[in-house]
């Protein structure tokens, strides 16, 4: 036998390796299949409803016909306002926690609180929103109350993911800056943020799509089953895609199937679009900054 002939152990290792590969591939396929199945069904049943008319007109005849424009606009309002609140606060809080605050007992309590808040079910945030924003602050059921509730829901996750991105910036970069006499803020502004912005944006945008999809937090705080006009300020109530889908599938009879599925398809499409934008942004920034 030649020197390079495979031994029995090598063959066994090779077999194990192949088996592991097959198992991992199988698990991956199992994970992807349901996603594909859902998307396939949505497209199959919802696509016939899609048209400019469907996207840009109001629902009519007790929502059994017409379009979903007010719900699309409403979702944009809710997501936009909640993002305008939670993104700056969340990012600044994470910068403070990661770059300024030391490791003391109260920062540990804050971390613990953030992690736990991120795990609270959205219906609990909804109840808090009703109690705090609708009733106590007397914002009423309005876009403002609903957006604040969504902001409270997304804030802990934004803080956590931003912190993660910040701490991924190598310590040596910070030391290089301090070392030429940069203040903490200059270090953050010139080095830490530019090198973590891709991760921060990804985290924020993932929360945008989460906010777009949630129903519970807005159902009692600002979203309505049907509003005959488009919102003109944050004090108005509004329709929303997630809420509309909930209504169509549980509260109204005789809704043609393709309207329900069409609405779901638009909602999913919106989320996919947002995530896609985040991936594009991230890869562009990544290409620009590498270390």
Partner 1 sequence: MSRPQGIRTDKLSLWYTKFQALVDVSLEIDHGRVTGLIGPSGCGKTTLLRSFNRINERIEGVRIEGHVHILGDDIYAPEVDLVELRKRVGMVFQRPNPLPLSVRENVLFGLRVHVPRGELRRDELNHAVESSLKEVGLWDALKDKLGQRATSLSLEQQQKLCIARLLPLRPEILLMDEPCSALDPSATQRVEELIRELRDRYTIVIVTHNMAQARRISDECVFMLLGQVIEHRRTEDLFLSPKDERTANYVEGRFG
Contacts with partner 1 by CB under 8 A: the residue count is 22
| C-beta closer to partner 1: residue 39 or 101 | 101
What is the distance between the alpha carbons of residues 102 and 112, in angstroms, rounded to a whole number?
15
| C-beta closer to partner 1: residue 53 or 175 | 175
Q: How far is the CB of 185 from partner 1 (least distance, A)?
A: 10
Partner residues linked to 238 by β-bridges: 223
What is the distance between the alpha carbons of residues 80 and 208, in angstroms, rounded to a whole number?
8
| C-beta closer to partner 1: residue 55 or 110 | 110
Residue pair 72/269 in contact by the 8 Å Cβ criterion: no
Among 4, 106, 136, 291, binds partner 1 (CB under 8 A): 291
Look up tokens 């945030």; give the residue: 125
- CA-only gyration radius of the chain, Å: 24
Mapped onto helix, strand or coil, the DSSP state of residue 138 is coil
| C-beta closer to partner 1: residue 197 or 230 | 197
> Segment 161-200, which members bind partner 1 (CB under 8 A)?
170, 172-173, 175-183, 186, 190-191, 194-195
Partner residues linked to 223 by β-bridges: 238
Q: Could you say which DSSP state residue 65 is in?
A: E
Write the binding mask 93 to 122 for partner 1: x where contact by CB under 8 A, - elsewhere: ---------xx-------------------
Q: How far is the CB of 172 from partner 1 (least distance, A)?
A: 4
| C-beta closer to partner 1: residue 17 or 183 | 183
Q: Where are the beta strands (DSSP E) in the chain?
A: 59-60, 65-66
Q: Is 28 in the site for partner 1 (CB under 8 A)?
A: no
Cα angle vertex 85, ends 127, 104, to 5°? 85
Q: How far is the CB of 186 from partner 1 (least distance, A)?
A: 5
| C-beta closer to partner 1: residue 114 or 192 | 192
The crossing angle, in degrees rounded to 10, of helices 105-118 and 143-167 is 120
Q: Contact residues for partner 1 (CB under 8 A)?
A: 102-103, 170, 172-173, 175-183, 186, 190-191, 194-195, 289-291
């Amino acid at each position: 036998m030649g020197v390079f002939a495979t031994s029995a152990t090598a063959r066994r290792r090779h077999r194990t390796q192949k088996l592991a590969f097959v198992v991992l591939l199988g698990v991956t396929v199992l994970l992807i299949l349901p996603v594909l199945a859902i998307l396939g069904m949505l497209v199959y049943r919802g696509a016939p409803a899609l048209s400019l008319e469907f996207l840009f007109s109001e629902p009519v005849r007790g929502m059994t016909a017409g379009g979903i424009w007010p719900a699309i606009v409403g979702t944009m309002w809710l997501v936009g306002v909640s993002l305008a609140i939670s993104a700056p606060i969340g990012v600044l809080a994470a910068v403070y926690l990661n770059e300024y605050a030391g490791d003391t007992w109260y920062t540990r309590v804050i971390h613990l609180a953030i992690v736990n808040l991120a795990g609270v079910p959205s219906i609990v945030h909804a109840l808090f929103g009703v109690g705090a924003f609708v009733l106590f602050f007397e914002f009423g059921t309005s876009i403002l109350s609903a957006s604040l509730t969504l902001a409270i829901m997304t804030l802990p996750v934004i803080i956590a993911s931003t912190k993660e991105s910040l701490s991924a910036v190598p310590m040596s970069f910070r030391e290089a800056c301090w070392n030429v006499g940069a203040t903490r803020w200059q270090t953050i502004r010139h080095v830490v943020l530019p090198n973590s912005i891709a991760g921060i944006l990804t985290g924020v945008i993932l929360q945008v799509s989460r906010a777009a999809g949630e129903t519970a937090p807005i159902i009692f705080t600002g979203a309505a089953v049907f509003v005959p006009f488009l919102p003109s300020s944050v004090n108005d109530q509004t329709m929303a895609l997630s809420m509309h889908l909930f209504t169509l599938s549980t509260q109204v009879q005789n809704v043609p199937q393709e309207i329900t599925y069409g609405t779901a398809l638009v909602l999913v499409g919106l989320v996919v679009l947002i995530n896609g934008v985040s991936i594009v942004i991230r890869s562009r920034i990544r290409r620009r900054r590498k270390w």
